Amino acid sequence: MTRAAVVLAAGKGTRFRSDLAKVLHPVAGRSLLGWVLSALQPIDLDRVVVVVGHQADDVAREAARVAGDGVVTVHQAEQRGTGHALRTAFEAGALDGVHTVLVVPGDAPLVAGAPLEAMFDAQRGNAAAMMTTVLDDPTGYGRILRDRAGAVARVVEEADATPDERAVREVNVSMYVFDAAAADRQLSRLGTHNAQGEEYLTDIVELLVDDGVAAVAAPPHSVRGVNDREQLAQAGAALRSAMLSQLLRDGVTIVDPATTYVGADCTVAPDAVLLPSTHLEGATHIAERAVIGPSTRLVDTTVDADATVTFTVAVSAVVGAGAQVGPFTYLRPDAQLAERAKAGAFVEVKQSVVGPRSKVPHLSYIGNTVIGSDTNIGAATVTVNYDGRRKHQTTIGDRVRIGADTMLIAPIKVGDDAYTGAGSVVTSDVPAGALAVERTEQRTIEGYAERKRGPDTS
């Protein structure tokens, strides 16, 4: 039995009032489409098809990024309804040889694999299975109409429903498993005589009931569609709280879940501590016993065991085991702190290595630099890496003492055990063990204040 999934993702998402296609909007660290495709991953599927239309190229690229190059995209040039979208997939040949087909909307980020799998089971021996749920407020959803015996008879869209039908609280969530041949046959019979003038996929239910349509009940939270930004924010809150609950069960301390944001593709090891207002984004990885926050944003950053990172912003950085970062530190791409290194207050590091146990404690800029081990960089040191046209490299050895307020004009090398005098502008290489000092002699003018005041005339 060949099984395929079709994700309907061609729509614009008019209610978002956005230039960006709805399914590309990010929520809790992934796009809406990314969440749906990730939910499909544990299911045994031979093929994943995504129907694209609005911003087709971008949506197709996102689909391939999340689900791999094997994903099949079908172009629905005009969005003539959910039924038309599925018909387009059949007509494009994307479902040739497929026996059963799962259909999911691209705008249901909370969906999980297990209830979808349950629909495959329920479909066996029937033309279709569909997921339904009961909502306190069913506004906006298609309503499930059942016959006297309690079997599903048809679906009526809100815009087409009578007041009595609108009172029904059991709704369609746009997730179905079809016998592919049966669906293919009936899709060509869908009309457009309805309030929206569209080919409704929901109308296929009535056409298939005689051959059996099983209903599978799902908990409301898992199948809600996202049609506007309020629902996007609600979905984000639900996804976030689920992720934080998982981390708490895994042994992570989260002091204030209400202000902690952990993206879907982040990992946090047991006994790590996330202090309030911590934002972990992208592929950020936090190791055992690391303490992050408060007020810290880490993007695509790795923090090794026992490190502390406080009041910091870091992007594509690596913080070694036992290293200390912050407060008020900016680690830019390719900043690498080795074990027990330090980047302290008002320090910016970019594309540089700070070696084991080396320290940049205060008010410094380190760019395009390699620092060895056990070196100390005095306060307010700048690696002057940019001549207005190109970036140049600074190399600083082991056990070096860079004096406060040193300007290291790159390209430049400072050898092991060398010193620079505070306030020096260092323009040529400093050999190992040497002191480089560049200062004019101090002038001291005695009695200056009194002279400036002038004679006392009172």
Positions annotated as catalytic residues are 362
**In the complex, minimum distance from the CB of residue 85 to ligand UD1, in angstroms, rounded to a whole number:** 4
Q: Quote the DSSP letter at residue 66.
A: H
**In the complex, minimum distance from the CB of residue 82 to Ca ion, in angstroms, rounded to a whole number:** 9
Give the Cα separation of 146 and 169 in Å (integer): 12
Distances (CA, A) of 63 to 21, 50, 110, 236, 331: 13, 7, 17, 20, 31
Give 132 or 385: the residue with its C-beta nearer to ligand UD1: 132
- Of the ranges 2-10, 66-74, 253-261, 264-272, which one interacts with ligand UD1 (CB under 6 A)? 2-10
Neighbours of 97 (CB within 10 A): 10
Q: H or E segment at 128?
A: strand 128-134
11 belongs to the binding site for ligand UD1 (CB under 6 A): yes
Give 145 or 437: the residue with its C-beta nearer to ligand UD1: 145
73 belongs to the binding site for ligand UD1 (CB under 6 A): no
Binding mask 23-52 for ligand UD1 (x = CB under 6 A): ----------------------------x-
- Taking CB under 6 A as the criterion, the residue among 172, 260, 351, 406 binding ligand UD1 is 172
Give 83 or 225: the residue with its C-beta nearer to Ca ion: 225
285-286, strands of its sheet edge to edge? 267-268, 285-286, 302-303, 318-319, 335-337, 352-354, 369-371, 394-396, 412-414
Q: How many chain residues interact with ligand UD1 (CB under 6 A)?
A: 29
For residues 200-259, which are near ligand UD1 according to CB under 6 A? 200-202, 225, 227
- Taking CB under 6 A as the criterion, the residue among 74, 85, 130, 341 binding ligand UD1 is 85
Interface with Ca ion by CB under 5 A: which residues? Answer: 107, 225, 227
Return the C-alpha torsion angle 156, 14, 234, 62, nearest 10: 110
Integer distance in angstroms from the first to the last C-alpha of the chain?
Answer: 109
For residues 132-171, which are near ligand UD1 according to CB under 6 A? 141-142, 155, 157, 171
- Taking CB under 6 A as the criterion, the residue among 107, 184, 300, 306 binding ligand UD1 is 107
Give 227 or 253: the residue with its C-beta nearer to Ca ion: 227
**In the complex, minimum distance from the CB of residue 41 to ligand UD1, in angstroms, rounded to a whole number:** 19
Q: Which does 11 bind (CB under 5 to 8 A by kind): ligand UD1, Ca ion, none?
A: ligand UD1
Beta strands in 53-112 (DSSP E): 72-75, 100-105
Q: H or E segment at 37?
A: helix 32-40
- Of the ranges 8-16, 111-119, 272-280, 390-398, which one interacts with ligand UD1 (CB under 6 A)? 8-16
| Triad 291, 297, 301: Cα angle to 5° | 75
Residues contacting residue 413 through CB under 8 Å, at least 6 positions apart: 394, 395, 396, 397, 429, 430
| Cβ 145 vs Cβ 168: under 8 Å | yes
407-409, strands of its sheet edge to edge? 261-262, 278-281, 296-299, 312-315, 329-331, 347-350, 365-367, 382-384, 407-409, 425-426
Q: Which does 344 bind (CB under 5 to 8 A by kind): ligand UD1, Ca ion, none?
A: none
DSSP secondary structure, 338-386, as one string: -TT-EEEETEEEESEEE-TT-EEEES-EEESEEE-SS-EE-TT-EEE-B
Q: Which does 81 bind (CB under 5 to 8 A by kind): ligand UD1, Ca ion, none?
A: ligand UD1
Residue 232 backbone class (left: φ over 0; alpha: ψ -120 to 50; beta: rest): alpha
Give 47 or 80: the residue with its C-beta nearer to ligand UD1: 80
Beta-bridge partners for 274: 254, 292
Q: Percent helix, strand, coil in the chain (nearest 5)?
A: 25, 30, 45
Give 20 or 182: the residue with its C-beta nearer to Ca ion: 20
Chain residue whose CB lies nearest ligand UD1: 142
Q: Which does 364 bind (CB under 5 to 8 A by kind): ligand UD1, Ca ion, none?
A: none
55 belongs to the binding site for ligand UD1 (CB under 6 A): no
**In the complex, minimum distance from the CB of residue 266 to ligand UD1, in angstroms, rounded to a whole number:** 26
Contact residues for ligand UD1, defined by CB under 6 A: 8-11, 51, 53, 76, 79-82, 84-85, 105-107, 141-142, 155, 157, 171-174, 200-202, 225, 227
